Homo-oligomer: A and B are copies of this chain.
Amino acid sequence: MFSKACKYAINAMTYIATLPKERDRVGLKEISKEINSPEAFTAKILQVLVKDHLLTSIKGPNGGFMMRGKSEEIFLGQIVEAIDGDVLFTGCALGLEHCNGHHPCAVHHKFKAIRDHLAGMLMTTSLKEVAFGINNGTNFLRS
């Protein structure tokens, strides 16, 4: 469904969003430890998120990564799109060059319903909402 990079990205953003108000930044080491991801690979992913203006990075001692916007205004779909692109939202399930109703693949109609369901969920689920479940103890970032 999602690439590993995308999974790490969502978990990392979620963890950053769980930080208390008085702590606005967190380093790579802590992130990759908390979400149980390879450190170097995570670094690359975070850099993509910085380039996409979802995160801000601060260099030097006491540096780290911080959310660029409010967590209630960042949605999972933005993260997925930044890492995996929009193929999940607009691509054909069976590999046709363009997905559109005028030249539908064998499963276009049925698949479009699923895809729209998924896109709707991702575009309306905010990081704040997800982070709340983690802080709450109802959901988990690692096995």
Contact = CB atoms under 8 A, between A and B. Distances in A.
Q: Which 6 A/B pairs are nearest by Cβ-Cβ distance?
A: A97-B143, A7-B95, A106-B130, A7-B94, A114-B118, A14-B106
Interface of A: 1-2, 4, 7-8, 10-11, 14, 76, 88, 91, 93-98, 103-108, 110-111, 113-114, 117-118, 121, 125, 130, 133-134, 138-143
Contact of A106 (B10, B95, B110): B10
A116 to B, nearest CB: 10
Nearest to A111: B121
Nearest to A18: B106
Contact of A110 (B8, B94, B105, B125): B125
A121 to B, nearest CB: 5
